[in-house]
Amino acid sequence: MSNSNNASMMKKTTLGPSGIECSAIGLGTWAMGGWMWGGGDNAAAVLAIQASLDAGVNLIDTAPAYGLGRSESIVGTALKGRRHEAVIATKCGLVWHTQQGTHFFEEDGHPVHRYLGRESIVHECEESLKRLQTDYIDLYITHWQDSTTPVEETMDALLELKKQGKIRAIGVSNVSPETLAEYLRHGPVDAAQERYSLIDREIEQALVPLCSAHDVAVLGYSSLALGLLAGPIDPGRKFTGDDQRASNPRFSAQNRAKLKAFFDELEPLRKQLECSFGQLMIAWTLARGSVSVALCGARVSKQAVENAAAGSVRLRDDALQLIDAVAAKHLNALA
């Protein structure tokens, strides 16, 4: 199936009250920043972003913290001359220009803090606009929440940026239902970005119903669980350097064996649908109805195009039930 065919078959969705239309599959660019992924290749990343656009994926998700600005700069380079084709989502709230807020982690020798104060958000927005080489951000998301700043102050800053035309829509990420409710008390929230996959379904209980009640679009990140659900992993494969998967217990040899049994049982379905396992998992994510966008990471064009093609995979109810049943049998212990 050609890219142009995939592009025309891509499911579309709307980002909450903003009315911004985007593809139901989004490209996540965390790995492109290199940090926690064992390094990166800028030129390959630029081509992957452009290949995503060609394949019908127009939502490009990035953040300053992905490589301390590296990922955003890559997105800016990739979208030169094509900015109008893309819906850019980026974030604020993980900062290294100030020590305010609470210390979260170290990245390349820089202490990174969670901080969502008004002046900091305005500063971050300007820096992101420069790196992205644009004068507006489609969806601006609070990356992680900051217990030291009142939500009202954060929301006021975001609403002011929206009024100025620097951002078009407001999003939140890694929030509790209580924190989302507090944001909603101070203005419209267009999207919530949360971890969601076949083995990460916690948001189905309380957050998704709250989002549905307030027309908040749900963007699911890590749709393939850091690559765990992309297909069987070679038992001998080693993750090196700062790649977070090297120390992640989910990638243990024991779990790889469980995943192999899971994929083996789904092989007839995969064959019947003529798709990859990764495409099958992305299609499941969209078909479940909990998220309106499945964000999928990619570092090279081949991965980006394969992920995009999942947008044309349609799963019937019996296929969904089969996947759920096989996951319950083999993957419960992974979660």
Give me the active site residues, please.
Answer: 66
- Helices 317-330 + 253-273 axis angle, to 10: 160
**Are the C-beta atoms of 98 and 133 separated by less than 8 Å?**
no
Give the DSSP per-residue string, 123-167.
HHHHHHHHHHT-S-EEEEEE-S--TTS-HHHHHHHHHHHHHTTSE
Pairing of strands 94-95, 20-23: unpaired
d(CA 220, CA 224) in angstroms, rounded, equals 10
The CA-atom distances, in angstroms, between 235 and each of 132, 225, 256, 260 are: 39, 18, 7, 10
Pairing of strands 110-114, 12-15: unpaired
Token pair, residue 34, equals: 């290199």
Token pair, residue 51, equals: 């290949």
The CA-atom distances, in angstroms, between 132 and each of 89, 98, 136 are: 11, 21, 9
**Are the C-beta atoms of 23 and 59 separated by less than 8 Å?**
yes
Q: Which region holds residue 272: left if phi is over 0, alpha if psi is between -120 and 50, else beta? A: alpha
